[in-house]
Structure 1
Amino acid sequence: MTYALPSTAAPTATDPLACFGPIVAPRLAPGVDSAPYGRFTLTPHAPTIGAEISGVRLSGDLPDEVLSELRRALLEWKVLFFRDQDITRAEHREFAQRWGELEQHPFFEYTQPGQSDVDVATLAKDATAVGAENIWHNDVTWHEHPSFAAVLRAVEIPAVGGDTLWADAGAAYDLLPADLRERIDGLEAEHDWVKSFGSGMPADAVEMLRPQFPPVRHPVVRVIPETGRRVLFVNVAFTQRILGVTEEESNALLRLLYRHMMRAELQVRLRWQKDTIAMWDNRTCQHYASSDYFPARRVMDRISIVGDAPIGVN
């Protein structure tokens, strides 16, 4: 089965996704209004996703009124950037804890030596431990309760390269043709970790962890409870197949949705500086860490926040 986006140029047999000219999506869900922010300055980096927040120091003693506005900004912009955040590891943790329970990543013991059983994970990449996060993904979708959000702090950055990109999964859904949205609204997909994290782990570790983390089913289109926004919830790293359709249609749909998510019009790109922090809503966007700085060194501290079970359209 072949699907195509409306375009100003007719799709071709070799490129059914051809779409030239304006590609503009709404930033907010229908019925959700934007309002000014009074506790900080917000500067958009792209039309629908990514905004820089200034006038706030991220520490555990943030006033509730500021945190409330940050929650609204995160829902509206999906990823928030904070510059010049010279905070400690403890303050990083205290800020993340204001958003919910912190997540212990079960695989860092094997993929990040020395980082087992911690909620602040130091991701140090250089010539001996190369960056391998350059694949579009939502974090931990192989879990029954994928991460709600992540807070990433730049500790040491290369002189050039090492940017991170995010793609707006809500705008991606909204820009699909109506018949394709209708086709995928009720579908589910299988997510798993063995082909990604498992590929870098000892076989006995995979065998030990497999009963704890079996494949899970999530809706292809996820609904965000706070806003009612529908977002695409499949990703190259962890989605294995769409259930309830033939293998041929599953492959065709996933290829199309992945290509669609890669449109530049849906993305924002961050050039890191030391003490920059990025926080993103893992439910509403995917991210990609550019691995173009080898053999230079890049060190980031990452905390993720426990999420809930995804809700589908039906």
Structure 2
Amino acid sequence: MATPVTDPKPVLDKPLLHYGRRALERMAPGTPQPEYKLLEISPLTPHIGAELGGVDLSRPISDELAAELRQALLEWKVVYFRDQHGFTHDNHVALAGVWGEPEVNPFFPKSETVGVSRLAKDAMAVGQENIWHSDHSFMAAPALGSVLRAVEVPPAGGDTMWADMGAAYDNLSEDMKARIEGLTAVHDWVPSWGATMTEEQIAHFRQTLEPVEHPVVVRHPVSGRKTLYVNEPFTTRIVGLPEEENRELLDTLVLQARIPEYQVRFHWQPDSIAIWDNIAVQHYAINDYFPLPRVMERIAVAGVPLS
């Protein structure tokens, strides 16, 4: 008699954190569907990333438009504009001001326009952006968001990807959610930015940039949505855990950003603009365009302590 066939179970070195269809919610549960009168919304995925049309950002931003911009970013986590010709440094500062004051990255060269950082490199340049990360998580009040404009980009390659860390949290197992509830993690810039510094340079920056702690799971400061807040370059350890457990748990959590269902990908063109919610997402600048240059200008928006 033939042996009955049973469904095979996956054989893995460690158990699956998630198996099957993922829950991909665009907004926190119970949030009413927004309405837009000034913005044209073109989603790039069902839950993260949308191109916005119908707006010339070189013109003054009205209170009504500012409110819709804030709502669109809260809903989609990252939003994009195309063909923003005539967009100046003053326009850049005004656009970032919809969300708050500029925040200067302490490791970027200072610019003539307050808060505007010019990022120029080719694919051979060393940079911490080509790894999944959240901007400035090594600061006590991490940046709330960033506004990035493409100045010069290669015709192919040089894309940027974003990952929805609210979705990453939603799809953790209930056991994992219980395991990480209430935990905090240390964030530090030395393993990444400090890798190319001398001991003297590290000591100089260390005077004002000590390691900081943030919750492993934060509540978004506007929506209240629970969001996984650990990243590969800056999160160094989880407080209070033995080394082996620490490494296993942190490795599991930071790798959630690599799951394609949580991601959106954007191909840059000159005068494209991306705005992202730095608490809700991580991002990754794809380093595949050597020997062509890629020149961007960025403003980060000053943040608040996370809880």
The TM-score, its normalising length taken from structure 2, stands at 0.92
**Which amino acid letter does the alignment assign opposite residue 101 of structure 2?**
E
1: CA distance, partners of 2:82 / 2:113: 29
**What is the distance in 1 between the residues matched to 2:124 and 2:112?**
19
In structure 2, what is the equivalent of residue 4 of structure 1? Answer: none
- Quick one: distance in 2 between partners of 1:9 and 1:222? 37
Report matched runs for 1:63-212 at 5 Å: 63-86=62-85, 87-109=87-109, 115=111, 118-126=114-122, 129-212=125-208
**Conserved in 2, the CA contact under 8 Å of 1:42 and 1:51?**
yes
Question: For structure 1, which segment, 21-30 or 44-53, has the greater mean C-alpha deviation from structure 2 after superposition?
Answer: 21-30
Structure 1 portions without partners, runs of 5+: 1-7
Moved more, 22-31 or 8-17: 8-17
Q: Give the superposition deviation at 1:9.
A: 7.4
Distance 1:128 1:44, change over 3 A: closer
More displaced, 152-161 or 250-259?
250-259
> Superposition RMSD on alpha carbons, in Å?
1.9
Aligned residues: 300
Note if contact 1:59-1:94 (Cα within 8 Å) is conserved in structure 2: no
Corresponding residue SS for 2:102: coil
Q: Mean Cα displacement is larger for which, 126-135 or 36-45?
A: 126-135
Q: Deviations over 1:107-143 (max 9, x none)?
A: 114xxxx659941111001267455521000000110
> Is the 8 Å Cα contact of residues 155 and 300 (structure 1) preserved in structure 2?
yes
Deviates more, 1:20-29 or 1:261-270: 20-29
CA-CA distance at 1:194 after TM superposition? 0.6
Q: Give the direction of change, closer, same or farther, for the CA distance of 1:116–1:17 in structure 2 (3 Å limit).
A: farther
Mapping for residues 1-314 of structure 1, pairs under 5 Å: 10-17=9-16, 19=18, 21-59=20-58, 61-86=60-85, 87-109=87-109, 115=111, 118-126=114-122, 129-311=125-307
Q: Is the 8 A contact 1:164 1:289 kept in 2?
A: yes
CA distance in 2, matches of 1:127, 1:53: 29
Closer, same or farther: CA 201–31 of 1 in aligned 2, 3 Å:
same
- Matched with 1:3 is none
Point out where structure 2 has 5 or more consecutive residues left out of the alignment.
Answer: 1-6
CA deviation after TM superposition for structure 1 residue 19, in Å: 5.0
Q: Distance in 2 between matches of 1:177 and 1:31?
A: 22
For the 8 Å contact 1:103–1:119, the answer to whether it is kept is yes
Q: Distance in 2 between matches of 1:166 and 1:119?
A: 22
Instruction: Supply the AA of the counterpart residue of 2:48.
Output: I
Change (3 A) 1:147 1:240: same
Greater C-alpha radius of gyration: 2
What is the one-letter code of the residue matched to 1:266?
Y
TM-score (normalizing by structure 1) = 0.90
CA change 1:282–1:10 in 2 (3 A) is farther
Residues 132, 220 of structure 1: alpha-carbon distance in 2 compared, 3 angstrom cutoff = closer
Asked if the contact 1:59/1:95 (under 8 Å) is kept, the reply is no
Question: How far apart are 1:40 and its partner, in Å?
Answer: 1.0
The answer to whether the 8 A contact 1:127-1:296 is kept is yes
Task: Name the SS of the counterpart of 2:79 in structure 1.
Answer: strand
Contact 1:10/1:18 (8 A) holds in 2: no
What amino acid maps onto 1:195 in structure 2? P
1:208: Cα distance to partner? 1.1
Q: Is the 8 A contact 2:217 2:227 kept in 1?
A: yes
